Structure formats: structure tokens, C-alpha cells
Structure 1
Amino acid sequence: MINAASKMLCAGGWSPLKIASCANFGIQFAGFTVANYFKTEKFYDLVGSVTNILVPSVCFFMSRNKTSTICKIQYACAVAWAARLGGFLFYRVMRDGGDRRFDKIKSSSTTFFTVWMVQGVWVSLITLPSCCLFLYQNTIGKKPSIAHMVGWGLFATGFLIEAIADHQKLTFKGKPGNELAFMQSGLWNLSRHPNYLGEIILWWGLYISAVAATPCRYMRGSLLISPLFVTYLLGHFSLNFQERSSEKRYGSVPGYQDYKSRTSKLIPFIY
């Protein structure tokens, strides 16, 4: 189905990236329209997950490299991450009945629209290295290099850190009496935001594996925008937002200030 539609669009001068981008922002706009009407954020992350699967899927299946082992592994990594995180976030928001981050945001249509469009930009940027691998590098018949293995190894490491951290916190918050308690065990004893750390690591891994086969330093340089964007978004913007939120929520809770003083903000024993 994707191939049939893509042939028709490509015949009209539509590149795979253009098709994927239009589909991404079109879905974000449709999601905003429905969410704004009902004033709900419950499927915001689910739409993010769907578009994070759709964009690389369009580029992968429209690529001459779809039979390449390198591209198959890269595609599987991207889809596995999106499916896992999307499922987790959707389950959590349905269990909790909402996401407090959106309490003020969804009351303003303009701000809510901006947040949905930012999600579209986020999807486009984080999937860009993989899409460029599928479309602009010839990997047919080539075996994965050490650099590919390093990239996928980092992806696997980050994926596990994020998944374990999410599971630990979900389990902790699901226990009676812990609704207002702060998480400080497991990976959360080493970092106050291990889920963010895991995601930053995995996107640097997918960047490395995406550019491993290209001799073009301009492509390697330009695609750095993807992991750098994730690092800034999670390691600075989201992290500081969560820090302020946690301070407001747990600042007076016994033991929280001690937890902050002895636990790294992001990278264990470093930062």
C-alpha cells in the first residue's frame, strides 16, 4: 500500500522525506483539532509514537535500501523505541486520567497548537538521520561495520536504561500510598532523571549508526542537529521543567533535599 501510494506521489515530484513530513504534520494537526475540541491530552504521546513509526517507515519502504541488513536493523531500532515508549506513555496517561504537564497548556488553543507542532518538529528531527540512511546511502550488500555495532550497542544500552527506569517508576507510583512519594530507588538512586539519560544515549547511538557508512562529512555534520536537539530538549529544557515541578511537589517532603544533594541530576557521578 505504501509502495503504490509512494510511486504515484514520486511521479509528481514528491520526495519520500516530503511525503513523510507532510504526513507527520498533517497527523499532528488532526490530533490537535480533536484534542483541542475535547480539551484532552490523553492521545498526545500516542500520536507522537504513531508518527515516529510512520516517518521512518515511509522513508524505509520507499528506499532502494529496504533489503539492506544495515537499514533493516536501523529501522527495527527506531520502530521498537517508538512502540515501547508510546505504549508506555499511553498506558500511564490512561491510568492516571491525564498528564499534569498539560493542565494549563490545554486551556489555551494557541499554546496547545504550538505544543502539537513542536511534537511534529521533534519527530522530524529525531528520525532524520535514519531517514537519510535509508534514502541517501548505498548499503545494499554491505556488512555492518564496527561503527554500526557501536551505534546499535549505544541504542540498546539507552533503550534498556529508559525502559527499566520507566518500569521502576510506574511500579513505584502504582503502589498504594506512593502517589505523593518521590522515587529514589533502582536507577533513580543513581540519577534523578535516568529515563532522559537513556533516551539521550539511544539517539546518539542511532545517529552514529546512521552516519557510519557515509564518507560525506557535510552529512555527518548536518545530521548532528538530531542528537544535539534531543540532548538540549531532554537534558536542559525538560530536565529543568521536571526539576522545578519536583521541587514544588516534594521540596518539603522529608528526605527529598538529601536525595537531591546525593544524587546526580542526569549523568551518575558526573552531572
Structure 2
Amino acid sequence: MDNSSLFLLIIYCLLACCGIMVLVWFWAHKIKNAGVVDIFWSYNFPVIAIILFLLAPGYHDRKLLICAMVIIAGLRLGTHLATRILKHLDEEEGRYQQLRKEWAPNSEKKFFFFFQFQGISNVLLAIPFFISTLNTSTKISPLEYAGAILWFISVAGEAIADWQLATFKKDAANKGKVCDTGLWNYSRHPNYFFEWLMWFSYFVFALASPYGILAIISPAIILYLLLKVTGIPATEEQSLRSKGEAYKRYQKSTSVFVPWFKKNKFPS
């Protein structure tokens, strides 16, 4: 691994991601909707992938494969979030409304640093991409093919879960109800599960490169964030506030994370 190349790539990616988040914060401040940060957190990964594809010294075909994976996944998720958030731009998501209340009267200042942390987290989570795009070996490893296959399964699964939830919400008859159809019949957060699985696939891909074991940091961070910080806890708190007893019943009958059999299908 070329340390000078790695250092420069990290600096370029940090400048790009944090610079984008400064602009996003100005927009969020103007419209009073911090939820737009989610869109650009997703879009920042394709930005990193483009920088690495153009500037990293690794083998071209490997760079093309991993960067294409990152760009496709980032654009899909970012566009999905943009479609949802931009339809209700004047209505901030409940999680961010709660943060705004907790951070008052300095919420805008704290949101600025929160946005910057999101940009930094983009680069930190991109460890598997840095490792893979610095690999100059001209042989694509079976581990890299396995990672690509696992990536396809995870992106497809997350896209299906997102589509099922969006379809459920479009039906006016479901207003105020909890989505319990399709993958949501088995897991309260199938989208989060497949998101984590995608990051695990990047780790598998990176294992074929020198220092690839370090890529475990990314799925480990994602798993911690989803289970303990900004993912499931915040989402479930908001669901309990908005849906009350209906969501409590849903919690009792489904797996919290991994899509699996419904609990009420087993004998008590």
C-alpha cells in the first residue's frame, strides 16, 4: 500500500464530502429541514468512488468493479431517499424534529457539526474502497467475486424492502398503520439488514487485498450505528410516538433486524 497515495486520496475525499455537507447545511438551514442530509450522505459514496477510480493507483478492472458497485448502491439509496424527502420538504422528519428540540437553542450550530461528521463518516466507512482500489494485483480473486455476488443480493433485498414500504404508504387506507407486508412481515427493519449486508459484502471484497482485514471496521461501525445509535433506536422511538399500540404489537410479532420467521408462528 502506497502511504503517500492513500494520504492524498483521503484528503481529496474529505475535502469533497465535507465541502458538499457545508453546502447541504446551508440549504437545510434555509428550508429548516435537516433530513436532506440523508440524501447527500448516500450520494457522497459515489463521489468517493469516482475520486478513487480516477486517482487510485490500483488495477483498473478491480477499480471499475468496486467503484461501479459503490456508485450504483449510493445512487439507488440516495435517489430513493430524495424521492421520499423532497415530496415533503416543508415537513421535517420526526427524528430530526426531535434533535432540533433537544439541541435548542443552538440547534443550527449543532446541525452544522452533525453534517460535517456525516461527511467524515463517509470517508471512514470507505475503508474497503481505499484498500481495494490501491491493490495493483492483476488477478481478480474468488473473494472479490463472492463479495460482488453478496453485494448484488443485498442491494436487491434493500431495494425490494424500500419498494414494499413505499407501496404500502401510497395506499391512503394504510394511513396510520404499520407496514407488515412482504419482508416487513418478518423483520421491522429489513432495509437496515440489507444495508448492513451490503457493507459486509464490501469487507469480503476487500479481503482479497493487502490489509483487507482492516475493512471489517466498516460493517462493524454500520452495525453499531444501526442497532444502537441513529438507525433502529431512533426509528422505533419515532414509530412508537406516531403509531403507539399498533407498533408495540408489531414489535412483539417480528424480528428486530434479520428477516426471519414471525415470532407468532412458533409455539409460545
TM-score category (smaller protein): 0.7 to 0.9
Aligned partners of 2:162 and 2:191 also within 8 Å: yes
Q: Give me the whole-angstrom Cα distance separating, in 2, the residues matched to 1:73 and 1:235.
A: 30
Which stretch of structure 1 is more off in the superposition, 37-46 or 229-238?
37-46
**For this pair of structures, how many residues does the alignment match?**
251
Q: Give me the whole-angstrom Cα distance separating, in 2, the residues matched to 1:96 and 1:178.
A: 18
> Is 1:27–2:41 an aligned residue pair?
no
> Is 1:83–2:80 an aligned residue pair?
no
Match of 2:97 among 103, 108, 111: 103
Aligned partners of 2:94 and 2:238 also within 8 Å: no
User: 4+ runs of 1 displaced by more than 6 Å?
Assistant: none
Superposed displacement of residue 53, structure 1 = 1.1
**Secondary structure at 2:34 match in 1:** coil
Q: Give me the whole-angstrom Cα distance separating, in 1, the residues matched to 2:47 and 2:136.
A: 22
Partner of 1:172: 168
Match of 1:138 among 136, 139, 154: 136
Structure 2 stretches lacking a partner, 5+ long: 264-268
- Identical counterparts, % of pairs: 26
Judging changes above 3 Å, is the alpha-carbon distance between structure 1 residues 146 and 66 closer, same or farther for their aligned structure 2 residues? closer
Paired residue type of 2:49: P
**Secondary structure at 1:83 match in 2:** helix
Partner of 2:147: 151
**Secondary structure at 2:58 match in 1:** coil
Q: Give me the whole-angstrom Cα distance separating, in 2, the residues matched to 1:14 and 1:262.
A: 48
Please provide the CA RMSD for this pair.
2.4
> Is 1:268–2:259 an aligned residue pair?
yes
**TM-score, with structure 1 as normaliser:** 0.84
**Secondary structure at 2:188 match in 1:** coil
Match of 1:231 among 223, 234, 243: 223
Superposed displacement of residue 223, structure 1 = 2.7
Superposed displacement of residue 252, structure 1 = 2.1
Q: 1:87-106 CA deviation, whole Å, 9 max, x = no partner?
A: 00000012233322222435
**Secondary structure at 2:150 match in 1:** helix
Q: Give me the whole-angstrom Cα distance separating, in 2, the residues matched to 1:115 and 1:125.
A: 15
Q: Give me the whole-angstrom Cα distance separating, in 2, the residues matched to 1:14 and 1:266.
A: 36
Which stretch of structure 1 is more off in the superposition, 237-246 or 30-39?
30-39
Partner of 2:266: none
Match of 1:51 among 34, 44, 57: 44
Judging changes above 3 Å, is the alpha-carbon distance between structure 1 residues 66 and 147 closer, same or farther for their aligned structure 2 residues? closer
Which stretch of structure 1 is more off in the superposition, 47-56 or 181-190?
47-56
Structure 1 stretches lacking a partner, 5+ long: 1-9
Match of 1:202 among 176, 198, 201: 198
Which stretch of structure 1 is more off in the superposition, 198-207 or 230-239?
230-239
Aligned partners of 2:17 and 2:44 also within 8 Å: yes
Which stretch of structure 1 is more off in the superposition, 126-135 or 198-207?
126-135
Partner of 1:220: 212
Aligned partners of 2:24 and 2:37 also within 8 Å: yes
Superposed displacement of residue 117, structure 1 = 1.9
Q: 1:153-175 CA deviation, whole Å, 9 max, x = no partner?
A: 22111111111111100111111
Partner of 2:120: 121
Q: Give me the whole-angstrom Cα distance separating, in 2, the residues matched to 1:239 and 1:122.
A: 18
Match of 1:74 among 62, 66, 81: 66
Aligned partners of 2:158 and 2:190 also within 8 Å: yes
Partner of 2:54: 61
**Secondary structure at 1:119 match in 2:** helix
Superposed displacement of residue 132, structure 1 = 2.3
**Secondary structure at 2:219 match in 1:** helix
Superposed displacement of residue 24, structure 1 = 1.1
Q: 1:109-130 CA deviation, whole Å, 9 max, x = no partner?
A: 1231232123113211222211
Q: Give me the whole-angstrom Cα distance separating, in 1, the residues matched to 2:31 and 2:258.
A: 39
